[in-house]
Structure 1
Amino acid sequence: MTISTGPRGRTIRVFLADGTPTGILTAEIMASWTGKAIVAPRSRLADLLSRPEVTRTSVYVLSGPDPNDPLRSKVYIGEADSVKARLVQHNADEAKDFFNRVLVVVSKDENLTKGHARFLESRLIALTQAARRATLANGTAPDFNLLPEADTADMEFSVEQISLILPILGFDFAQPQATIPSPARPESGPTAIFEMKAVGVTARAVETESGFLILKGSTARANGTQSWETYKGLRDSLLERGQLVPTADPNTLSFAEDVAFASLSAAAAVVYAGNINGRAAWKVEGTGQPYKDYQEAQIRHVADA
């Protein structure tokens, strides 16, 4: 018998409380976690406040687009003995005008204490800072580590479960940045390295579950074509955040860290500084095979098996 050492399957139950996918949702991880996540659009805040869960000690997140960077979200993470009262305050606060969704995490067995909530708040803030996917609206980042050893272990488990649920509910603010996959995983085969050489720059990348990852040290053209519009704002955002930096050559930029992109064309456009088809521009390193042909060969291999 073969025993798998990889991640185990999980069952997550998402309930549409009012029967619509854009209304109030609840999410639970079956048979492994006593927590419960509740999500609501700001337009349904009154309905959320009428639910009994929000009168308990909870950790919560306000999320919406960053008005200063449309390519990123902005979040505020907090905790309260009564989230209901706190959300009423935030709704009237002009500084919190950015949020359009609310996430509340409670304990189904009502055993979440003030100390537990402060610990969860601290850990979620730290994860958000490390992920660098969203602008954090919190003025402070409390470091709370005063729980007993057993409680700390329980809350770290809760952090793991919350991190698992967040992307399913449409929140990516705490999702870790993509990492380079193992070069030889039996279940997926060797990892292909892709390269793009054009206009005097060279970039290398790999595919990951979180996106197309351009590797640190890759270069990109500094001055784009006059007709370039698509993904230009993304390039400017990377420059502002220091992920893409100038070099001694005024015509060249360099990736200061690994950066994940949602699509091959987005990655290619930032490197090329112009409109370009990523499926044709990226090629398997050392072979010259375009990504399009590489992917089709992978699909044919599986389809013909």
Structure 2
Amino acid sequence: MTQGRSIRLFLVDGTPNGLLTAEIMNWTGHVLTGPRTKLTELVQRPECGRTGIYFLVGPDLEGSPRPQVYIGESDDVGTRLKQHNRPEDKGGKDFWEKVCLVTSKDQNLTKAHVKYLESLLIQSAGELGRCKLVNGTAHEYINLPESDRADMAFFMEQIRTVLPVLGLDFLRGRPMPSHPSSILKPSPAASPKFVAEVPRYGIKAYGQELDGEFYVLEGSIARGTWTGVDGGYQSLYQQLCDEGVLVEDENKVRRFASDYAFTSPSAAAAVVSGRSANGRIHWKLEGTGQTYGAWQDQQVSAAATLGKSRSELA
């Protein structure tokens, strides 16, 4: 069972869409985030004058559902952000709509620390594939004592914990149900397996729910081309083809070369079917034929009954 964590969030200007700070108990890190429209207020904050790591986040202009992300470091984050805010033809960056910076409350982060962190974060974001990195490849930086590298590994794990709470998922680990040894942290038990079939087109895919995402498992068969209406999950289907997640197989179908996490069963069903699909009906419990929707309702009802019983005993 994973241990609970306490994260303290503070709305700087009292609005949910303004500046936000985040801290974890017993961690020296401090996170400040906000929209680009609030950059004037953000650069006036004392955190911006410290050494730290920052993330610039924006939508992919080519239509991919993954965000574009730039990861940087500076010993004066505020000055660097002002440079990035310039027009692109003057050395700035146009794509970003949100900024997040991570500094240290005790100001013990040095230039060497953040260069090492930047290298680790770029490498991790690239391997996870949840975003389109604007940086390109990571520069390996190993000029740090062993004890400092251990401290930075812990610091990075806290960053990976707090960023998803702020809606920034690009550093969140991807457990692979088909390869249990690849799961980065102990996770709640995965759901039973579900099957999606369209026998007429030779489609048969397997899926599991894990950590709030719906995974289509490696080796699953999907439709060879997108046949649904334009839009919807068409861009995601094409993205998976371009990235080699969906590879051409025999009989004009495509095969999942690795496990892939979808945001919902319907997104997974649409990519497997090559058209829009209701995942709550399309996915069926292996061996029983029970729909995903009926299975989920059964789980919720059982949990509610258990919770009621415990409250009556209390």
Do they fold alike, i.e. is TM over 0.5?
yes
Structure 1 stretch displaced more, 135-144 or 79-88: 135-144
Conserved in 1, the CA contact under 8 Å of 2:63 and 2:235?
no
Superposition pairs of residues 216-227 of structure 1, within 5 angstroms = 216-225=218-227, 227=229
Which residue identity does 1:116 align to in structure 2?
H
The Cα of 1:229 is off from its aligned counterpart by 4.4
Residue matched to 1:84: 78
Counterpart-to-counterpart distance in 2, 1:107 and 1:283 = 48
Pick aligned residue for 1:19 from 14, 19, 38: 14
The Cα of 1:232 is off from its aligned counterpart by 1.4
The answer to whether residue 36 in structure 2 is matched with residue 42 in structure 1 is yes
Which residue identity does 1:202 align to in structure 2?
K
Pick aligned residue for 1:177 from 174, 179, 183: 174
The Cα of 1:139 is off from its aligned counterpart by 4.1
How many residue pairs get aligned? The number is: 294
Structure 1 stretch displaced more, 62-71 or 14-23: 62-71
Conserved in 1, the CA contact under 8 Å of 2:228 and 2:274?
no
Residue matched to 2:285: 284
Pick aligned residue for 1:58 from 43, 47, 52: 52
Which residue identity does 1:164 align to in structure 2?
T
Structure 1 stretch displaced more, 161-170 or 295-304: 295-304
The answer to whether residue 208 in structure 2 is matched with residue 206 in structure 1 is yes
Counterpart-to-counterpart distance in 2, 1:188 and 1:9 = 13
SS in structure 1 of the partner of residue 100 of structure 2? strand
The Cα of 1:210 is off from its aligned counterpart by 4.1
Which residue identity does 2:56 align to in structure 1?
L
* Aligned-CA RMSD value: 1.8
Conserved in 1, the CA contact under 8 Å of 2:54 and 2:99?
yes
Overall identity of the aligned pairs, in %: 45
The answer to whether residue 95 in structure 2 is matched with residue 98 in structure 1 is yes
Change (3 A) 1:67 1:228: closer
Change (3 A) 1:190 1:274: closer
Counterpart-to-counterpart distance in 1, 2:239 and 2:189 = 34
Change (3 A) 1:35 1:218: same
Which residue identity does 2:265 align to in structure 1?
L
After superposition, the C-alpha distances for 1:125-165 in whole angstroms (9 at most, x for unaligned) are 11101110111111441111221121111111100100000
Residue matched to 2:236: 234
The Cα of 1:122 is off from its aligned counterpart by 0.8
Pick aligned residue for 1:118 from 115, 119, 132: 115
Change (3 A) 1:228 1:87: closer
SS in structure 2 of the partner of residue 75 of structure 1? strand
Pick aligned residue for 2:159 from 142, 158, 162: 162
SS in structure 2 of the partner of residue 71 of structure 1? coil
Counterpart-to-counterpart distance in 2, 1:223 and 1:139 = 30
Which residue identity does 1:53 align to in structure 2?
E
After superposition, the C-alpha distances for 1:253-295 in whole angstroms (9 at most, x for unaligned) are 1111101111111111111112221111101111111112212
The Cα of 1:115 is off from its aligned counterpart by 0.5
Change (3 A) 1:39 1:118: same
SS in structure 2 of the partner of residue 304 of structure 1? helix
After superposition, the C-alpha distances for 1:33-91 in whole angstroms (9 at most, x for unaligned) are 00100001101111111111111111111111111233110111111111111111111
Residue matched to 1:3: none
Conserved in 1, the CA contact under 8 Å of 2:228 and 2:276?
no
Residue matched to 1:196: 196
Q: What TM-score do you get using the length of structure 1 for normalisation? A: 0.91
Counterpart-to-counterpart distance in 1, 2:300 and 2:77 = 49
Residue matched to 1:264: 265
Residue matched to 1:253: 254
